[in-house]
Chain A
Amino acid sequence: MSGIDDCLRQAMTIPGAIGASVVDYTTGFALAWAGNAPTGDPDASAAGSSDVIHAAINRAPFASTRPNDLVEDVVITTHGGYHLLRMIRTDFDSRLLLYVWLDRHEGNLAVAQRRIRILADDLVAA
C-alpha cells in the first residue's frame, strides 16, 4: 500500500540517490519529486528524461516487433552519476516513468536497478 510519496521516499534511500521523480512523459512533466534534480530544475530533468524515453520507445531497434517486448528501463551513465528511467506500467491509460538520479561513486547500478524495478512495480501492483 504505497503511494507516490512513499515510493519517492524509498527511492531516496537507495545508496547514492540524489533525486527521484515521477514523470508524465506525454508532456515531460514531473508529477512529484524528491531530492535534487540535475541543474536544480525538476521541470528540465522531466523534459529531458521524457525525450530519452520517447527516443527509446519510438525507435525501431528498441520498440521491438515482437509483441509485448516493451522497453522497461533506460540507464544513462555519466562520469559522476547514473540516471535511471523506469517505466511505470499501469493498467489504466498513463504514460509515466520513475526517474532516479544516483551518485556514481556511492551508488551501485545493479542494486539500484533492482530496487527501482521493485518500487515501480509496487506502486501499481494489484
Chain B
Amino acid sequence: MAKSVRIPRTGSPRRALTLLAGAGATGALHIGTDDCLYLVAGEVVFAESGSSPSIGDLLTASDRLAPETWLTALATGGAAGKSDVRPSAWLVQQGHLTHGELELCVLGAIYDAAYFALGSASALLRFVDGETHGMGAVTSIDPALLAREAARRRKLLDEIYAEPGVDHGPVIPVRRPPVPRVVLSALQWEIVGQADGTLTPVALARKLGRAGYAVLTEVRRLAAAGLIALPAGAIPLPVQNAPIKRPVPAIPYTDQVDPPAPAAPPVAMPRRRPPAETNGDGALPIRAAVPAPAPPGSLPALPRREPGERLPTMTDDLPDSAPAPPVTADEALLKRIRTALKALR
C-alpha cells in the first residue's frame, strides 16, 4: 500500500511528482489551476493541461470521432460510474477506435500535457489522494521518464529559437515576409491560416486539434524565419537564409609577410605562413610548400642548357649584374616539398 506523502502547497511540480512517484501514490496532482497529472501506484496514467488539446479535442477536431460519439462515450463512463466500462474502454468495445489508436492518442496527450504541466519552476500544488481520471487508465508512464522528456522538449524549442516569449503571445503573421520566397510546412500553413492576431499558440493548437508542443515548435520556426511578429525586446535571428555553416579554413590566413631572404628580391604577394602545428611528423600541407610566383622580371632567366651540356655552377655562370639567387630559401623550399611529398606517400 502507498505511504502517505505530503507535498508543499507551492513548489516545483517536478519535485512533487518525484515525491509522489517515490511513495507509489495513487491520485491526482493538480498543478496551478489548469493542469493535472493522474497517478496510479506511482506511475502517471493520464495528464491534462489547459494549454494542450484534450484527447477529445484531438479526436473530434480531426473528425476521427463525431462530437456526439465523444459525448456519448463520456456520458457512458461518467454517469454510470462503473469502473469497468470507462469511456476509453467503451470506445474500443464499440469499435469507434482501435486499441492502438487509443493508446497512441493517450500517450501523445500525456506527454503533451506534461510538457505544460511540468514547465513552471513553481506553482500551486494540490494532491487529491485516490482521485482518478474519468477516461480510465489506458497506459502508464514512468514519472522520471515523463519529467526528463518534458525538460528535453524545452531544450529542443530553445535550439530552434531561444525566445520563449513567442510561446505565450498572440501569433501575428508579418504583413510582408522578409524574404522573396516562403516555404511552409503543412502545420505552419494551418497556423498562419488560422492566426487572427489574437490567438496564442496554445489556442491555435486547440482550434486546429494539433498537439500543443507541435504547434509551439512550428511557431518558434516561424519566428526564427521572421514570418511572425516577435514580442517586444526579442532579438531577431541575424542570418535567416544561411543555416549552412562554412567550415573554418584549417590553415589560418594571415596578412603577415614572411621576412624576405637576405638576397631575395622583394616578394610582392603576401605569403601564407605555414601553420605552427604540424601533423606530428613535421609534414606540412602541400599548399604551404608552393611558393608565391615571383613578379616577372625580378629574377633573370637562367641560361638555357643544351641537352647533354654540363650544368653551370651557380656562382660562376650567372651574369654579374644579377643578384645572387636566394639559395638558402630554395633549399628550404626543396626540403619542404620533399617532406610534403613524403607525407603524401
Contacts and interface: CB of A to CB of B under 8 A. Distances in A.
Partners in one complex: yes
Q: Chain B contact residues (Cβ within 8 angstroms of A): what range?
A: 20 to 34
B133 interface: no
Interface in A65-124: 88, 90-96, 122-124
Contacts of B103: 3-4
Given A2-B99, A93-B209, A24 B111 contact: yes
> Which of B53, B103, B111 neighbours the largest number of chain A CB atoms within 10 Å of its CB?
B103
A12 interface: no
B77 to A, nearest CB: 19
Interface stretch (B22-30, B55-63, B268-276): B55-63
Contacts of B53: 93
Query: What band does the interface of chain A fall in when counting residues whose beta carbon is under 8 Å from B?
Result: 20 to 34
Contacts of B217: 26
Contact of A124 (B58, B104, B156): B104
A80 B81 CA distance: 55
B86 to A, nearest CB: 16
Nearest to A88: B104
Contact of A92 (B99, B105, B213): B105
B59 A92 contact: yes
Contact of B62 (A7, A24, A91): A91
B158 interface: no
B interface: dominant SS: helix
A27 interface: yes
B211 interface: yes
Contacts of A24: 108, 111
A91 B108 contact: no
A124 B62 contact: no
B98 interface: yes
Interface in B129-158: 149, 152-153, 156
B211 A94 contact: yes
B213 A26 contact: yes
Nearest to A60: B183
Contacts of B213: 26-27
A91 B62 CA distance: 6
A4 B100 contact: yes
A87 to B, nearest CB: 13
Interface in B166-212: 185, 208-211
Nearest to B210: A93
A83 B26 CA distance: 40
A55 interface: no
Interface of A: 1-4, 6-7, 22, 24, 26-27, 29, 31, 58, 88, 90-96, 122-126
Interface of B: 53, 58-59, 61-64, 92, 98-101, 103-105, 107-108, 111, 149, 152-153, 156, 185, 208-211, 213-214, 217
15 contacts: A3-B103, A4-B103, A6-B100, A22-B104, A24-B111, A27-B153, A31-B104, A92-B58, A92-B62, A92-B209, A93-B58, A93-B208, A94-B105, A124-B104, A125-B98
